[in-house]
Each structure stands twice: as structure tokens, then as C-alpha cells.
Structure 1
């Protein structure tokens, strides 16, 4: 049996404060017998202070776009995380500084990255592939999905918007992932926001996607998220543990907290996949261009076709 925990908490630019939070959360996790602890996207240094919209994604000079500190994976901050992790398998998000960039640009590239580590080693590194609403102004995009071995089982990681793409989790499941850790800084809607964040449409979508991806691939899903507010963003919290049937085993609600559940990793997957096994029963030959074709063009936005002042369709809201 394995006890897993997903954290809902707010993190800022203050690195010392972030590390103090990690230390406290890791200590609490050990006291509860946790083997795998999932912290949010950008837990070390905080996420962006704002996201672009249709009107500002092309302006990389916006002064309100506060950048998180960029850290090297072989630097002292990751070494400090390993020391805090100890015997825990710890998944945590940060802004990575890598030397794989164009020499003309100084040779350095920033990525929105998740690392999985213990006190002994960095076990896995994932760079966010899918970028929403101007995130490309702050980070380069990753390009691969996969799974890796850890002391608690074969797992994979995603970051935030990745969960909206079934192909991502499917690729990881086909690579043998038994459990996916989805680290997020998922905000509530900025237009037409619900007075109660639990009723917000983006809270509903966050929860729905977590359950769907677990059920799609009949695997365990551990979803962390930022909570509270940072800059112009209000986060939905809602960290959770989901079983291979899509049932929520533990949930934090929309505020800060830790969702903890004890799971039978091998037994749970065997039970879920013992009858209808989605990965086995796929028909790739029938899907054709479904995974590679360009999408149909979108119609002109509603506000360009009507005289209404701001009737923006759902796709334009974040």
C-alpha cells in the first residue's frame, strides 16, 4: 500500500518562504506516512502574476508580468529540495534555467518545469508542453511526455493545462505510468467569475479533467494546485487524489490543505483493467488523423461579428 498526498497552497517569489513551506509540508507528510508528496506548479518562486488575453499576448514588455526566479537543475535550490525530500518521493514545480537556448540569446532558456526527486537523486524532469494565454512570453515549451521509475512505482508528471489534452495522459499511460502527478497553478475565471470559487466554471473544469484523465487511462491521478491569490490570479485549489475509476478519494476543497489517500497501486490498476482495459482495446488504425491533423479553423470571434460590447465566447475566458 502507498499513501500519497496532493497539496493546495499558495507560493510567492520569496524563495526562503517557499522552502520553509516545503519543509513544513514534507514534515507533515512524513508524520502521516506519506510516500509520494505532490506540490503545485511553480511552488519554488511562484507562478506568473498575470496571464495574457486576446488583447495582450503579443506584448512581452507588459510591466505587470512578474517573472519567477529561474533556477538550474544542478544548482543549490534543487539540492536543497533533495535534502528536504529525504525518503519522500517529492514532485514540485519551478522555473528552470537551461543552457539549451540559442547562443545569440545568451544560450539560456526558461522552462515551466516539474521535478521529481528524493534525497538520493533527481528521478524525473518534465517541461510543460501545452501553454495557455501568453505563457510563451515567459517560458519555452517542452516537447515530450513519458514515465519514469521511482521507489513507489512508475509515474509521470504533467503541468496544469496539459490535463486538457487526452493525448498527453494517454502517451504516459502507454509508457507504463501507473500514476500521474498533475501539478497546477490553475486559476478561476477572470470574466464572469462566480462569487463563490467552488461554483466557478474553471473549478468545475479542473475537477472534471482530473477525473476524466484518471478514468480514460485507468490509472491513479494525483493533482496539486496553487491556492489563494497571486498578482491578478485567483486559484481554485482543489487538490485531490483520484482512483482509476474516476472516483475522488481525497479532496482539499478550494482553500489550502493536503489531500491524503492510501492506495493499492498494483491492485487498483489490476482491478480497474481486469475487464474492459482501455489501453488494450484501443483501435489506432481507426483513428486516422485524430492525433496528427490540424484542427478545423475557428469562426470569427463573436465580438468581431456583432455590435455587442463584450460578448466574448467561452474560449476567450480564463
Structure 2
């Protein structure tokens, strides 16, 4: 702990090859990556969207699991074993609805929050139910906001986090390579939009149903980076192209970052100029 910076928080973006319909194999590889992240001192480890099952529309009802199902049991056990906060994407079954969801699990294995993706492609609406925005979640690590995949494309999907003083946005993702040109720029923009750190945890592998591969390129970004240096100094860590699995870690200092954000007029100026329900409703 630094006297001036405060206690550091190590963020880990876990990139996992997700094979549809192979939950136990996917979870076994996820367990190895979580152990790696814990060994690097991570306080928050993030797994991709639908990391255990994949998002395969023909088998979506068979693959989805409830909040008291095996995927959540796995996450609770891993969080407890490593003393980690874990954010992860879960294909969630709730009655007749299937949600592409993100969950946050605490180091005691307790469920801290569930976000069901609100932004859906037009064709996905035949298979997935849309969720609602979720307030940032208060944790001992700081205030954490959850997003899933396509949400990254819309500034409105994360804008409420600026008004809530969010410390970290986690976007768990399964994004196709064919539509990936802007993803790195979007991650950087959403972090800067909201003065947060952002973790993009993206899967790799193939979706045979649509015949496309997943992007990967997981990263940790600091939206409060300022000053000179390299043009991409805000990208603190990332997994290179063509690397299928791995862990990218970076340490941020929430107390220092909050002080920096408070010195800037951006949040107050946004509230004064762009007072809209999706920014300032909630907390």
C-alpha cells in the first residue's frame, strides 16, 4: 500500500476458449485461469460471456442454467477457494426466459449482483430475453458495474455509471471477429466516457452454428489516463491477437483515481449539460 496512492487493486481479464455444449471442460479450463489470476494477486478476476456453455442458439435452452445451478456453484467454489471477487458471463434460465447475463460473486462465494443484457441484436430476440440496466455494485474493492458483449457498442448502456461514481466497469463478452474492428477503441471510449477502469473479458474459439470465430483480445483499460506517453497508454494490459487463452492483469489504485476524477469537472459538466434518465437515475 502506498501512502499517496492507497491500496492497489489488481484486475484480471481472463480469456477462455469456449466450446459449446462442453460445460465441464470449459469450467476446468476456467479453473486453471482463475488459479493463475489468483497467483498474480488479482482481487477481481473476470471470465467471458457464457463462459461455461457458450451461446449456441440451437441448444440454448438445454445449455442455460438457473442461479442455483452448476455454473453458479462452480463460481462460488472458485471464489471461496481463491478469496477472489469473480465477474463472469452466465447463460441464465429463469422460467421461460433465457438471459445472456453477468454475475458478480464475492470471495465468500456469495452472489453480489446479476445483470441481464439489455442490448440485443435483432435476431437474438427470438432466443434471448432483454434485461434492464443495473446500478453499480458496492464492494470492498470499490463500485463495480457489469456489462455484457453488445452493450459495449452503446454509450447509453454504461452512462449511468458516471453518475454513480463507478470504479470499474466489467464487460464480459463473446464478440465475433468479423465485427471486431472497433472493439478496442470502444473499450477505451467507454472507460473514458465514465472515468473508470474497464475490464473486457472476451472469449475465443468458434461458433459453428453461425460459422464465425470469436474475437478474444481481452484487455484492461484506464479511462483516467492523462498526460504524454504512448498513444495507447490507457491500455494497461491486453492479450495479443491470435492468442486463444490467457490472463491479462493490471493494478490500479482506486483512491488515487477517485481523487483524480474529483479534481476534473467532467462529471459535474455532464450532469449540467446532459441530464438524462439513463445517466442520473438510480443512486
Structure 2 counterparts to residues 50-199 of structure 1, below 5 A: 65-67=58-60, 69-86=63-80, 87-99=83-95, 108-118=96-106, 119-189=108-178
Deviation at 1:279, TM superposition (A): 1.6
**1-side partners of 2:13 and 2:52: how far apart?**
16
CA contact (8 A) 1:217 1:278 kept: no
**1-side partners of 2:129 and 2:153: how far apart?**
19
Deviations 1:131-190 (A, max 9, x none): 02411122100022311112311101000110111112111222232110001101122x
Deviation at 1:23, TM superposition (A): 1.2
**1-side partners of 2:277 and 2:164: how far apart?**
21
CA contact (8 A) 1:160 1:183 kept: yes
**2-side partners of 1:172 and 1:286: how far apart?**
14
Cα 1:283–1:15 shift into 2, 3 Å: closer
TM-score, length-scaled by structure 2: 0.84
What residue number does 1:196 align with? none
**1-side partners of 2:64 and 2:214: how far apart?**
22
1:5 aligns with 2:12: yes
Deviation at 1:285, TM superposition (A): 5.5
1:20 aligns with 2:20: no
- Structure 2: which 5+ runs fail to align? 1-7, 226-233
Deviation at 1:28, TM superposition (A): 0.7
What residue number does 1:242 align with? 221
Deviation at 1:48, TM superposition (A): 2.7
What residue number does 1:55 align with? none
What residue number does 1:253 align with? 240
Deviation at 1:288, TM superposition (A): 7.9
What residue number does 1:205 align with? 182
CA contact (8 A) 1:2 1:34 kept: yes
CA contact (8 A) 1:160 1:185 kept: yes
CA contact (8 A) 1:218 1:273 kept: no
Deviation at 1:90, TM superposition (A): 0.5
**2-side partners of 1:289 and 1:127: how far apart?**
19
CA contact (8 A) 1:183 1:224 kept: yes
Deviation at 1:287, TM superposition (A): 6.8
Deviation at 1:230, TM superposition (A): 2.4
1:271 aligns with 2:248: no
**2-side partners of 1:270 and 1:288: how far apart?**
25
What residue number does 2:42 align with? 34
Report how many aligned residue pairs link the two structures: 255
Q: Secondary structure at the match of 2:180?
A: helix
CA contact (8 A) 2:91 2:98 kept: yes
Cα 1:176–1:47 shift into 2, 3 Å: same
CA contact (8 A) 1:5 1:258 kept: yes
What residue number does 1:195 align with? none
CA contact (8 A) 1:188 1:203 kept: yes
Cα 1:120–1:174 shift into 2, 3 Å: same
Deviation at 1:75, TM superposition (A): 2.4
1:214 aligns with 2:194: no
**2-side partners of 1:242 and 1:9: how far apart?**
19
**2-side partners of 1:259 and 1:78: how far apart?**
23
